[in-house]
Structure 1
Amino acid sequence: MSIIFTCLAQIRPAKSYLFRRICQVHCKLLSTMADKTAVCLLAEGAEEMEAIVTVDILRRAGVSVTVASITDKECVKCSRDVKICTDAKIDDINDKKYDVVILPGGVGWKHLAASPKVGAILKDQEAESRMIAAICAAPNVLKAHGIAKGKKITSYPSVKNDLIEDYTYVDNDIVVCDGNLITSQGPATAYAFGLAIVEKLVNKEAAKKVAEGLLYKDLK
């Protein structure tokens, strides 16, 4: 960034208006990206693809992402024995506000559903109209904590019957957005899920740029 401003500083005074406008646009873009925050809540047995792909995509878009263990362990063992070393523990983030809370699926959803601390974070997130994103079996976490009842959602097909009474279930879309809630279906849809979060959290242009870098062709 310093190189950019060094070059811009060489523009003649007669073009100072152009200089100011370029600086304003550049700074606004940097501010927009830097201001966005996310937390991914990680439990033992989480589906690692859903966590890692989503976190990676958001970080590519300039979002500040914290991966937080919901236990007292810093390294969390996921569903395929992949260990993820987290940035924080849930007690470290209780008083922090994030633009989006991300819930990976896998069998770890049961631990997320059973955690009062997770419930408190989600209820605060919903009360303040901030985003929640859940993938695979994680919409069951929303149900367990009484979050977003009646909204449109999707999930991993095997947990559909757990959700159809409390939500408006969508079968045919791999990502479903309803207000500040984003849901998706499973490991293979994690790319679409992450890009949908970026589009809503940052903007569509940022999502397109990340998709191009990933060679992801299906972004509408």
Structure 2
Amino acid sequence: MGKAHALVFLAEGAEEMEVTITVDVLRRAGIEVTLAGADGVGSVVASRGITLTPDAALDAVTGPFDIVVLPGGARGAERLSRVPAVGTWLKRHEAEGKWVGAICAAPIAFHHHGVFSGYTVTSYPSVKDVVGAWGSWVDRRVVVDRKLITSQGPGTAFEFALRIVRELLGAGAERDTRGPLLLEH
């Protein structure tokens, strides 16, 4: 199996734990991650006031990627819902049967961009009515339906990232990545 590549979107107001834990875990597993700024290469202030800097501007990213990932945070998710390039990536990955991951409030972007209708998903509970209007919402920490991985929020970020590792690289890679993190099995 060749090296896996992930594209993680970054927008103003993103939930920093969901960004940093996901990127860190994927990189620990050997996945090449591009953190792409929805509004260019400038630093953004995340939901709790931490400044994060993307690797590249989303408009300059070409891929290919094995997965695209949408971190949550209410403001960040709203912003990702309005960025046409995010919709382009989501539609491409859905059409090509490639992986997509979304955590917390980020699944609201699926409705706005017209993708993943009818899928079983989870999200942060405060947006379950919005998410459930076009899919089947379930109260589980991580959900996989076809090539879509969704998760509930900051407290599930490690599980979310490790599930991405499992799906892209296999159970052995997930186990090898989990061990040094000292997480319960």
TM-score by length of 1: 0.81
Deviation at 1:176, TM superposition (A): 0.1
Deviation at 1:91, TM superposition (A): 1.4
Choose from 149, 166, 172 the match for 1:182: 149
Work out which structure has the larger RCO, using CA pairs closer than 8 Å and 6 or more positions apart in sequence.
2
Q: Measure, in 1, the Cα distance between the counterparts of 2:20 and 2:159.
A: 13
Is residue 2:45 matched to residue 1:69?
no
Q: Measure, in 1, the Cα distance between the counterparts of 2:45 and 2:29.
A: 27
Bigger CA radius of gyration: 1
Name the structure with the higher helix share. Answer: 1
| Residue of structure 2 in register with 1:97 after alignment | 64
RMSD: 1.0
Aligned residues: 184
Is residue 2:50 matched to residue 1:82?
yes
| Residue of structure 1 in register with 2:120 after alignment | 152
Deviation at 1:35, TM superposition (A): 1.9
Deviation at 1:74, TM superposition (A): 2.5
Opposite residue 69 of structure 1, the aligned amino acid is: G
Which stretches of structure 1, 4 residues or longer, exceed 6 Å deviation after superposition? none
Structure 1 residue ranges without an equivalent (≥5): 1-31
Residues 86-114 of structure 1 deviation map (CA, whole Å, 9 limit, x = unaligned): 11001111x32210000000021011001
Residues 54-82 of structure 1 deviation map (CA, whole Å, 9 limit, x = unaligned): 01000010000000001024212111111
Percent identity over paired residues: 44
| Residue of structure 2 in register with 1:142 after alignment | 110
Residues 143-181 of structure 1 deviation map (CA, whole Å, 9 limit, x = unaligned): 11111110110000000011212111111x200001100
- Secondary structure at 1:35 match in 2: coil
Opposite residue 113 of structure 2, the aligned amino acid is: H
